[in-house]
């Protein structure tokens, strides 16, 4: 577990994960409202070398960020299940189309659909400690 005391530290922790990625990963982000899931994603996307403007996908559902200059990763797809209420709604997203070796898939609020098995390669858990501090746990899921 890492403790972040600032936006910059959260970005740095995300950058550590970014260094391990090669493409094809499926990362789920778990944390309450305001925990910093989008902040973490901003750090991760920037660390992959992308200048894309990473914003919360709560209403847009899915944002796509191009990555240039990385040897194997060419895009990050940033999804948010916050507004989803039933697993059937997932089919409409055609997520399998975004599962390719040059793509990193990031899913916020996977817990909104508790019956779905996300088959994540990484689970990131972000917890509130106090107004400025967060606990961040990155777990790599074995095959």
> Going by DSSP bridges, is the β-strand pair 75-80/103-108 parallel, antiparallel, or unpaired?
parallel
- Cα–Cα distance, 84 to 92 (Å, whole number): 11
User: Of residues 16, 62, 112, 116, which one binds other proteins by CB under 8 A?
Assistant: 62
Does position 96 bind other proteins by CB under 8 A?
A: no
Contact (Cβ atoms closer than 8 angstroms) between residue 107 and residue 29: yes
**Is residue 115 within the footprint of other proteins (CB under 8 A)?**
no
Considering only 2, 6, 34, 69, the residue that binds other proteins (CB under 8 A) is: 34
Q: How far apart (Å, rounded) are the C-alpha atoms in residues 136 and 12?
A: 11
Residue 16 interacts with other proteins (CB under 8 A): yes or no: no
Q: Does 58 sit near other proteins (CB under 8 A)?
A: yes
Choice from 5, 22, 68, 89 touching other proteins (CB under 8 A)? 89
Q: Which residues contact 54 (CB under 8 A, 6 or more apart)?
A: 38, 41, 42, 45, 46, 63, 65, 78
Stretch that binds other proteins, among 10-18, 30-38, 112-120, 135-143 (CB under 8 A): 30-38
Q: Which residue has the tokens 């996908």?
A: 57
Interaction site with other proteins (CB under 8 A): 33-34, 38-39, 42, 53, 55-56, 58-64, 85-86, 88-89, 91-94, 131
């Amino acid at each position: 577990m890492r403790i972040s005391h600032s936006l910059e530290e959260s970005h740095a922790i995300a950058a550590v994960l970014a260094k391990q990625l090669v493409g094809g990963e499926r990362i789920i982000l778990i944390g309450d409202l305001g925990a910093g899931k989008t902040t973490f994603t901003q750090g991760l996307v920037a660390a992959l070398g992308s200048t894309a403007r990473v914003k919360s996908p709560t209403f847009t559902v899915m944002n796509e960020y191009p990555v240039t200059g990385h040897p194997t990763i060419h895009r990050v797809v940033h999804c948010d299940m916050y507004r989803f209420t039933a697993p059937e709604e997932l089919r409409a997203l055609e997520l399998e189309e975004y599962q390719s070796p040059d793509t990193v898939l990031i899913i916020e609020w996977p817990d909104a659909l508790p019956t779905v098995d996300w088959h994540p390669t990484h689970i990131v858990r972000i917890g509130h400690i106090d107004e400025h501090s967060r606990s961040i746990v990155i777990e790599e899921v074995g095959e």
